[in-house]
Structure 1
Amino acid sequence: MHRRTHTSARTRTTLLLSAGLLAAVPVLTACGSQSHPGAAALVGGERIETSSVQNQVKDVRAAQAKAPQGAQLISSTGQMNRAKLHSMLFGKVVERAASDAGIEVSRKEIQQARAAAVQQYQGEEKLAEMLVRRGVAPDQIEQAVREELLLNKIAAANRANLTTPDGQAKVTQVLAKASKDLHISVNPRYGTWDNEKIGLTDRRTPWITQKTKNAEAQAAEQAGVPETQ
């Protein structure tokens, strides 16, 4: 039976900034494995379609193109396809870890946390501008808030302070177990999934690199902006 965890302390929503976990950048170190025709990854037996990743990239690039100094912003956030897949996989891991611990967040909690973030950044527009710089499109903000709340509750349930190395290590262990249980397998064009680091790792062969570049260029073209290397 799952134990439902509650916390009376007010959760500070940092939106992809707490402990650097939600914004973790994939490390480029290892090689790919089996192929996944049509899918970017398999998570717990379920597919994450390549088109789903590309759609998220398209939304981010479109929002970035409208932002101040959009071209510079796009150029400074390359490999968006891999970054978005990493974010999607990390979100699945957080959801699994929360489910294992009986942790939930309500619609009201999400609304309150988002409202607090809007106040913190002095308006919805400025909040969206800050988040798009971190690869989160306006229509992806609610999911980002949900994951942030879940992550904070997971930390609270394990008496872990996400602002300290020890606290981060403790939460990473919890997430690593959830990651292993999901049996994540990634299409080699994106790299491989490291359960311990909870992120993508990669050492591409030339033909995989070229295919990835083509996919990124296609997604950027669909978004109406040039994709960077």
Structure 2
Amino acid sequence: MHRRRRTALLLTAAIAAAAPLLTACGSDAHPGAAAVVGGQRISVAQLENRVNEVRTAQRAAVANDAQYKQAVAQTGSLTRDTLHGMVLDRVLHRAAQDAGVSVTTKEIQQMRSGLEQQVGGSKALETAWLQQYGVAPKRLDDNLRLQLEAQKLAQTLGTDTSKPAFWNALSKASKELKVDLNPRYGAWDVQKSSRVDAKTPWVREVTAQASQGTA
């Protein structure tokens, strides 16, 4: 597997291991919020809009209703998966900020260009991320930024995304942000890191592919 592609997969896989570090109060203290991270609400409406972006893209990418229904069936936990990604995004961003790490638009463009070369163009990359990871085309750059932040954070800490120092930074950020998840969507629990509703399809798939690429 091409080094750039393998690196991208490993970076995304690294985010999967961050999930157990998030904790939630699981209260109803914030009506109308899907989650509260760092005192900022992720509203149910915002979450639903993100989910609708994916569903709209899925419908546009297939030829008929039967194929669309199949795509929906394969991403049945999309709402919880999407919220999981939105929370992880904020936690990692906080950890990166704490470490003085930032990602430029140019760096995102360079990463995207390399991936596009591997899969056959921009449209092919968007389709791949949509089908495999449930990421809407308009959110692709955001996903790449997430991966770049993980990579640069690890480098700044003098470690890599498989080492405790990296996870400790994410744990510290999650505690600072006091993640509060609406019980309707599950809960982040250090002792229950394997909960199904706390996982995302794109993380599961990328983890598997990353393992294959390093075998």
TM-score (norm 2): 0.75
The residue aligned with 1:206 is none
Q: 1:79 to 1:196 in 2, by over 3 A?
A: same
Match of 1:71 in 2: 69
Query: What is the distance in 1 between the residues matched to 2:163 and 2:191?
Result: 13
Matched residues in 2 for 1:147 and 1:31: separation?
22
Residue pair 2:119, 2:125 contacting (<8 A) in 1 also: yes
- Partner-residue secondary structure (3-state), 1:103: coil
The one-letter code sitting in structure 2 at the alignment partner of 1:50 is V
CA distance in 2, matches of 1:125, 1:183: 38
Larger helix proportion, structure 1 or 2?
2
User: Are the counterparts in 1 of residues 47 and 82 from structure 2 also a CA contact under 8 Å?
Assistant: yes
In 2, are the aligned partners of 1:16 and 1:23 still within 8 Å (CA)?
no
Aligned length: 188
Cα distance in structure 1, aligned partners of 2:169 and 2:193: 11
More displaced stretch, 47-56 vs 62-71 = 62-71
Greater CA drift, 114-123 or 51-60: 114-123
Aligned to 1:173: 168
Asked if residue 101 in structure 1 is aligned to residue 99 in structure 2, the reply is yes
Q: 1:52 to 1:17 in 2, by over 3 A?
A: farther
Match in the other structure for 2:117: 119
Mapped to 1, the partners of 2:4 and 2:15 lie a distance apart of 16
Residue of structure 1 in register with 2:81 after alignment? 83
After TM superposition, the structure 1 stretch with the greater mean CA deviation from structure 2, 14-23 or 62-71, is 14-23
Letter in 2 for 1:65: R
What is the alpha-carbon distance in structure 2 between the residues aligned to residue 193 and residue 46 of structure 1?
Answer: 17
Deviation at residue 157 of structure 1 after TM alignment = 1.8
Match of 2:178 in 1: 183
The runs of 5 or more residues in structure 1 that have no matched partner are 1-9, 204-229
Q: What is the rounded CA distance, in whole Å, between the counterparts of 1:98 and 1:130 in structure 2?
A: 27
Matches of 1:152 and 1:82 in 2, distance apart?
Answer: 25
**Higher RCO by CA contacts (8 Å cutoff, separation 6 or greater):** 2
Deviations 1:134-165 (A, max 9, x none): 11000001111111110111121223334xxx
1:151 aligned partner = 150
Q: Is the 8 A contact 2:112 2:144 kept in 1?
A: yes
Computing the radius of gyration over CA atoms, which structure comes out larger, 1 or 2? 1
The sequence identity of aligned pairs, in percent, is 39
Q: Measure the CA separation in 1 of the matches of 2:90 and 2:81.
A: 14
Structure 1 residues 58 and 19, CA gap change in structure 2 (3 angstroms): closer
Aligned to 1:53: 47
Counterpart residue number, 1:3: none
> How far is 1:197 from its partner?
7.7
2: CA distance, partners of 1:169 / 1:188? 29
8 Å CA contact 2:81–2:197 kept in 1: the answer is no
TM-score by length of 1: 0.71
Moved more, 167-176 or 146-155: 167-176
**Contact 1:98–1:154 (Cα < 8 Å) also in 2:** yes
Q: 1:107 to 1:157 in 2, by over 3 A?
A: same
Which residue in the other structure is 1:210 paired with?
none
**1:45 deviation in Å?**
0.8
Partner of residue 136, structure 2: 137
1:3-46: CA deviations, max 9, x gaps? Answer: xxxxxxx976855653623357978xx99721131111111111
Structure 1 residues 97 and 199: alpha-carbon distance in aligned structure 2, compared to 1, 3 A threshold = farther
Conservation of the 8 A alpha-carbon contact between 2:80 and 2:197: no
CA distance in 2, matches of 1:13, 1:110: 16
